[in-house]
Amino acid sequence: MEDYFPFKDVEEKWHKRWEELFRCDVAKSENKFYCLMMFPYPSGNLHVGHGRNYIIGDALARFKMMEGANVLAPMGWDAFGLPAENAAIKNNIHPAEWTKNNIKRMKEQFDRWGVTYDWSREITSCEPEYYKWTQWLFIRLYKAGLAYKQAASVNWCPSCKTVLANEQVVGGECERCGSKVEQKKLEQWFFKTRKYAERLLQDLDKLPMAEVLIERGGVKEEGVRFIEEVKQIQVAEREKAQFTKKGFFTGCYAVNPATNKKIPVFLASYVLMEYGTGVVMGVPAHDQRDFEFVKESPLEIPVIQVIRPSGSHGELPELEAAYTNEGEMINSGPFDGIKNSIAMEKIYETLAEKGMAKKAVHYRLKDWLISRQRYWGAPIPMIHCKRCGTVPVPEEDLPVVLPEDVDFMPRGDGKSPLATSEEFVKTKCPVCGDDAERDTDTMDTFVDSSWYFLRYLSPNIDEKAFDSDLVNRWLPVDQYIGGIEHAILHLLYSRFIVKFLYDEGLIDFDEPFERLFTQGMIYRDGAKMSKSKGNVVSPEPLIEKYGADTVRIYTLFIGPPEKDAEWNDRAVEGAYRFINRVWRLYSKNAQLLDNVADRSVSIDPEALPAEMIPLYRKVQQTTHKVIEGVLGGSFHFNTAISSLMELTNEIYAFNERFKEEIAKQDEAIVGLFVLSIKNLLLLLSPMAPHLSEEIWERMGFKESIFKQTLPTVDSKYILAEKYTLVVQINGKIRAKIEVEKDTDSDKLKKIALENKRIAALKTITIPGKLVNIVVKER
């Protein structure tokens, strides 16, 4: 008997066979299930926190297969991006090569977890075959009037003379050299996401997912704004705002239309031109920023309190900070005495009647700035001609290939690295044929990832971006799984692009994802795993020591998948013990179980002796719980595993109790025993696939366990025929009595009252649960 599951001997064998299993025939779209996991950035190493995403997705894909679905589970690489360029600069390796190496390594990591995909559909966003179509998308947007050029600020390091990403700015300083970062205006490309703001907001209702709320923060309606009256004020010459929260008195006054009082007008450094009209009403008594402005400024600015804190009386003390809570209005003319939240609406109504105000909706959504002054991205396919202006590269000339031999070290003139390649820059104008220059910026990597899920259906076609027919049959994605960090922008951009393609008539759906699931982060020592904190847990040593199934089971068992969880090295052993407990169930009984498939073993539940019914019932209850818990929509693998542990414990007890009968091959007992083990394996297999497949094969089944259907539930046996009735007095438990399952209320009441002879005022009877007796005094 082998005491431990020999995972090292069998894992590889199964990885090879599963590749076939996961190859999807997309021509058959009936009963399709598109299970999409966010394609990762190939940063080099996956840790167990990343693993959660892929393990959840893999387990789900396998459950769906066993439910009979035609599962499409593809994978690819979001392969353009800043880290490749940083690594290149640091280690003097070409970004393309660095990326390629990382992809190779990460693919191996997927494999070791037993996470399987349809690799025949692999896509890599940095390959010309792919980014050709990212460029094509840009041109479509441009031709539809949704791409435009405008000056916008970038972070600029005056010492490195280069553009910095937000991430590279730490505390206002360049992370590399520590110089103070400046803002510099550059002409850049934008996509008009704002044009889709209303639809992006409205259609959120089509997405049944918890994360909707997160995105509501991104596209948000701003409330009432008093625009009209302030527009009349002439804004004086603006003083340059190089200091924070300082102001300049214009000498002008505005009139507060609600009270008809004069208000001094200031220029303030902290008011953003880009937001709203660029003009705001300062309320120093009730806005902390305005309050600080008044405090920091040498100017004499009156602070008028207009909200009296709830419950306060008499003279109001001088404020030490802005009062931002509820209260009633004071110093507000006709609105005095009204609760501030109500007054807000009242003031609006009054002004609206006079035609002085109107409600406006402000989406907290900017147009999408897609230009990046970087090398490692898809070149923007535009040509600048002196005579014809900016013109798109003709579609037949795509892709605009990213030249390999470019010096992408910081050059110090602020231009994109591509500008150094004369060969790249110099071109002919496609309109007039004259000498012209290519745009030297590349696209934001979010553009690459905003359409990749369409490409998976036909990853290799070179005459178009995607096959509309296949895409229409397979999308929207049935289940999208990914990290919370991408739940906002990536989702927004993908939705924008899909709506655009819908408007262009290229696809017939306008939301890309049917359901989204964002899994929680895995923490370690109270912080999320990161290289800089040095708290990452690598999967390899764990898989080496305990096997892939242990790591999978632990990862799924750690907690509800949507919540954050703390990694605990020692608790991994619990998963390891469980795996081996299941294995021993087999190995202890190998004589019986080896090739048991070839024999007919069956049971008739109706004919089972009473002492065997509890196990049969446990099998039914577990089956019900696992299938409901996982496929019922909540992906609660943690409770599914716990109930499989319970079942395992019960099979152990059964095995021990009927040891001799099993040895003697008693038909009924062996039948139930084998059934229990079969169901245990079927339910466990998506989560611990190596173990389950191996035992399944040894039991003599010729086909993969993932080609089996999930066990069905004999629902008659879900409820026990007896249960523990709780008897409460005044809501406190006073007795517990075993009763028959179908006992009616009257009978229950009688049983309870006989048990405790109490003069009852009132009795609450809940069949199946409890009897609560209410008495006057205890």
Q: Nearest approach, Cβ of 676 to RNA (angstroms)?
A: 14
For residue 695, give every residue at least 6 positions away whose Cβ sits within 8 Å of its Cβ, in sequence order, or none. Answer: 582, 583, 586, 593, 677, 681
Q: At what angle do helices 548-557 and 48-66 cross, to 10 degrees?
A: 90
C-beta separation of 769 from 728 below 8 A = no
Of 82 and 93, nearer to RNA (C-beta) is 82
The H-assigned helical ranges of 570-612 are 572-587, 590-593
Least distance (Å) from RNA to the CB of residue 382? 27
User: For RNA, which is the closer residue by CB, 288 or 745?
Assistant: 288
> Which residue in the block uniquely carries the two structure tokens 């049935």?
478
Alpha carbon distance 358, 225 (integer Å):
7
Ramachandran quadrant class, 688 (left: phi over 0; alpha: psi -120 to 50; beta: rest)? beta
Closer to RNA by Cβ: residue 96 or 760: 760
Nearest to 154 by CA among 192, 190, 181, 193: 181
Q: What are phi and psi of 672, to 5 degrees?
A: -70, -40
**Smaller CB distance to RNA: residue 501 or 522?**
522
Look up tokens 């405790």; give the residue.
756
Q: Nearest distance from residue 244's CB to RNA, in Å?
A: 4
Residue closer to RNA by CB (options 159, 724) is 724
Sort strands 70-72 and 32-37 into parallel, antiparallel or unpaired.
parallel
- Nearest distance in Å: CB 679, RNA: 17
Complex with RNA: residue 44 or 520, whichever CB lies closer? 520
**Cβ-based neighbours of 611, under 8 Å, separated by 6 or more:** none
| Alpha helices (H) along 241-339 | 288-296
Contact 404, 96 (CB under 8 A): yes
Closest CA to 625 of 603, 649, 642: 642
CB nearer to RNA: give 18 or 63: 63
CA atoms of 223 and 225, how far apart (whole Å): 6
Distance of closest approach, residue 563 Cβ to RNA, in angstroms: 6
At 146, which amino acid appears? Answer: L
Q: Smaller CB distance to RNA: residue 130 or 658?
A: 658
For residue 528, give both structure tokens.
């999320």
**Residues forming a β-bridge with 156:** 163, 182
Q: What is the C-alpha to C-alpha distance for residues 708 and 336, in angstroms, rounded to an integer?
A: 73
Q: Least distance in Å: CB of 324 to RNA?
A: 6
Q: Check: CB of residue 143 under 8 Å from CB of residue 392.
A: yes
Are 447 and 492 within 8 A, CB to CB?
A: no
Least distance to RNA from the beta carbon of 532, Å?
Answer: 13
Cβ-proximal residues to 628 (8 Å cutoff; 6+ apart), any chain: none
* Cβ nearer to RNA, comparing 454 with 681: 681
Compare residues 52 and 140 and give the one whose CB is closer to RNA: 52
Smallest distance from RNA to CB 403, Å: 32
Query: Could you tell me if 432 and 388 are in contact, meaning their C-beta atoms sit under 8 angstroms apart?
Result: yes
User: What's the closest the beta carbon of residue 234 comes to RNA, in angstroms?
Assistant: 17
Nearer to RNA, 47 or 245 (CB): 245
Q: 95 and 408 in contact (C-beta within 8 Å)?
A: yes
In whole angstroms, how close is the CB of 213 to RNA at the nearest point?
4
Q: How far is the CB of 293 from RNA (least distance, A)?
A: 9
- Give the nearest distance from C-beta 1 to RNA in angstroms: 11
Which residues are 35's β-sheet partners? 479
For the bound state, the minimum distance from the C-beta of residue 386 to RNA, rounded and expressed in Å, comes to: 35
CB of 332 to RNA, least distance (A): 17
Nearer to RNA, 280 or 713 (CB): 280
**Integer Cα distance of 190 and 133 in angstroms:** 18
Q: Are 324 and 341 in contact (CB under 8 A)?
A: no
Q: Which is nearer to RNA, 471 or 556 (CB)?
A: 556
Largest CA distance in the chain: 105
Of 46 and 725, nearer to RNA (C-beta) is: 725
Shortest approach of RNA to residue 194 CB, angstroms?
A: 12
Burial 521-538 (b: 16+ CB within 10 A, else e): bbebeeeebeeeeebbbe
Joined tokens for residue 200: 């992006």
Q: How many CA atoms lie within 13 A of 83 on its CB side?
A: 10
| Residue number, 31 or 715, with CB nearest to RNA | 715
Q: From the CB of 182, what's the least distance to RNA, in Å?
A: 14
Q: Please, which residue, 162 or 550, has the CB nearer to RNA?
A: 550
When the beta carbons of 288 and 538 are compared against RNA, the nearer one is 288
Nearest distance from residue 605's CB to RNA, in Å? 21
Cα angle 373, 378, 380 (rounded to 5 degrees) comes to 70
CA 368, 372, 378 angle in degrees (round to 5)? 95
Question: Residue 688: is it exposed, middle or buried by C-beta count within 10 angstroms (0-12/13-18/19+)?
Answer: buried
**Which residues are CB-contacts of 379 (< 8 A; sequence separation ≥ 6)?**
135, 400, 401, 402, 418, 424, 438, 439, 440, 441, 442, 443
Residues 6+ apart with CB under 8 A from 630: 59, 60, 63, 636, 637, 640, 686
Nearer to RNA by Cβ, of 467 and 628: the residue is: 628
Which residue has 């709780």 as its token pair?
726
CA angle 147, 148, 152 (to 5 degrees): 125
Joined together, the tokens standing for residue 691 give: 């173990």
Residue 728 Cβ, how far from RNA at the closest point, in Å?
A: 6
**641 in Cβ contact with 742 (< 8 Å):** no
